[in-house]
Chains A and B, each alone.
Chain A
Amino acid sequence: MAEWLDDFLFTYENLVHALGVHGLLALSMYCVMAVGQLSLGQAAFMGIGAYTGALLTLNLGLPFWLVLPLSALAPALVALVIGGPTLRLSGVYLAISTIALGEVLRVLYINAEWLTGGALGLSGIPRKADLWLIYLLLLIGVVAFWAVGRSKIGRAMEAMREDEAVAGVMGVNLPRYKLGALIVSSMIAGLAGCLSSHSNSFIGPNEYGFEMAVTILSFALLGGIGTPVAPVIGAIILTALPEVLRPLQDFRLVFNGLIIVIAVLFLPRGVIPFRLRRAP
């Protein structure tokens, strides 16, 4: 490896990890928004993955190749319980119950001290999430969404986003698509959580709450959801910017919140407005 790259990685190791993990989170947000739904539980799903992964590694000493898929499975079960009823209702029900999920989990992590270490969180998690693994998973994710996006599934998803009722009349099984999207997205977020807990060596209950949920949404809204790459680029911008502009750090959350306001009001397609073609 070139020397300058070594130096760069040494200095910015945490940032490079965070960019990859946030890219995965942006992808998980994309997956739900691509079918016209809004989940604000991506941070909560990430937290479930992070805690599941950390506990399996610390308490049971399971190998990482087993920990990773289990960390994706745990949030999927929660997504099933919440998504089952809400996805048959109007979109606000999913949004509300997923924010509520984040809030209740935060309190439970703090209270279940015997398991989660309470407010202090869990520390001493071995660093098993190598950089190449994070970026490989991100690449696989983007390519997979790209491939599926250019098929009848991608067309059905875009149809749902534009006009759900008409998508149903076209023969799209709406509940199945919505639940499928939510479950896949919760699994990606769970993976991201597990990867982040195995690269930071520490996790705490406040990392997966409201602020993180809104930040993940800001990734997708800044980038736009025309292609699967767009939200990932949104994540990279919003993660790297505070590093570059140090004075921004205090106002990082204010900034992320305002990005959402501005994007919804003035930039509904995000900064990367291109649209994936879905036919030859």
Chain B
Amino acid sequence: MLSQQLVNGLVLGSTYALFALGFTLIFGVLRVINLTYGFYFSIGAFVALTAARSFGANIWVALPLGAIAAGLVAVVADWILLTRLRRAKAGELSSLMVTLGAVLALYSLMAVFIGTDIQRFPFGFVDNSAIEFSGIRISLVQMLIIGTTLVLVALLFVLLQRTKLGLMIRALAENEDAARLMGINVGLTVAAVSFLSGMLGGAAGVLIGLNFNAIQPFMGEHMMLRGFAVIIIGGLGDIRGALIAGVLLGVLEVLTAGYISSNAKEAVAFTILVLTLWFRPVGLFGRAQAKRA
């Protein structure tokens, strides 16, 4: 019983970690709480859904399509909304507000055109079977989620640590002006970070849409509660912290649902969020700069 729940928690936690990864990456590098992030999640799921419906794409086609589409949306959104504020060195609240307004407009526009009814992937889009060993059941979808999360995280780490682009991104995260002086093309690097995080958000949308098999324009918004909790518990901008916090949150939620009540599960994320703010605002590893007033 407990081990089954731990496995379920691990799966749920991987989806949270995957979702929060791109969100915290944006903050870590660009110092912006970009609330359009939730929309990348929704659009990724919808592009995959449309691909599956219109030309019968399987998951290996639909997943990258959803991710790339979300990545492109992210680049355009960042360019339209934030270029001007970045140039003016506007405060962090201005960029937060502008993305907040934009994301409501985007969700609502999507809702006007495709409605707010819940939509589902076509039957047989993925194999629904499950494997069992020593009494623990894992579905193929769950394995897909954990596997994809691991692969994407590994790719992201390689990209950040081992490539020239990664070096540029890390330089930008350190200090924008210095990066510019070192001859780094800041505009291009910003676009790359947006694309990467958009892809992560989009991929998360496809996989989580698949897991719950419920797709709806505002799904990204509903996911944000977990996103906020994870990036604050992990420490704003801390990628490793977000991964661990995501898994932790998933496990805690499943255990709460199992041992207390399924209603209490919904309050777990917010409760830990507030507890973190009270007792450890710098996050799990203490690397977020929780500037004191």
Contact = CB atoms under 8 A, between A and B. Distances in A.
Q: Does A pair with B?
A: yes
A89 B104 contact: no
B105 A258 contact: yes
Given A89-B277, A90-B293, 7 more contacts: A36-B93, A40-B100, A82-B274, A85-B281, A89-B293, A99-B228, A255-B105
Interface stretch (A49-57, A104-112, A132-140, A270-278): A104-112
A261 interface: yes
Contact of B270 (A86, A101, A217): A101
A251 B291 CA distance: 39
B98 A264 contact: yes
Contacts of B105: 253-258, 261
A112 B222 CA distance: 18
A254 B92 contact: no
B273 A100 contact: yes
Nearest to A175: B293
Given A91-B92, A253-B105, A96 B100 contact: no
A210 interface: yes
Interface in B30-76: 33, 35
B228 A217 contact: no
B97 A97 contact: no
Given A82-B274, A96-B228, A214 B236 contact: no
B291 A90 contact: yes
A97 B293 contact: no
Given A93-B277, A104-B270, A265 B293 contact: no
B96 A95 contact: yes
Contacts of B84: 265
Nearest to A89: B290
B204 to A, nearest CB: 17
B93 A97 contact: no
Contacts of B177: none
A88 interface: yes
Q: Interface residues of B: mostly helix, strand, loop or mixed? A: helix
Contacts of A124: none
Contacts of A210: 104, 218, 221
Contacts of A92: 33, 92-93, 96, 236
A250 B113 CA distance: 10
Nearest to A218: B101
Contact of A260 (B101, B232, B281, B290): B101
Please tell me the size bucket of the interface on A: 35 or more
Nearest to B103: A257
A104 B225 contact: yes
A89 B98 contact: no
Nearest to B223: A103
12 contacts: A38-B97, A81-B274, A84-B278, A89-B292, A95-B93, A100-B269, A104-B225, A107-B266, A217-B97, A256-B101, A259-B101, A260-B97
Interface in B265-293: 266-267, 269-270, 273-274, 277-278, 281, 290-293
Contacts of B236: 92
Please tell me the size bucket of the interface on B: 35 or more
Given A178-B293, A261-B81, A96 B33 contact: yes
A99 B224 contact: yes
Given A85-B278, A260-B100, A260-B101, A93 B225 contact: no
B97 A93 contact: no
Contacts of A84: 278
Nearest to B112: A250
Nearest to B292: A88
A225 to B, nearest CB: 12
Given A38-B93, A85-B277, A174-B293, A265 B222 contact: no
A168 B107 CA distance: 40
A111 B262 CA distance: 9
A264 B82 CA distance: 11
A38 B293 contact: no
B109 interface: yes
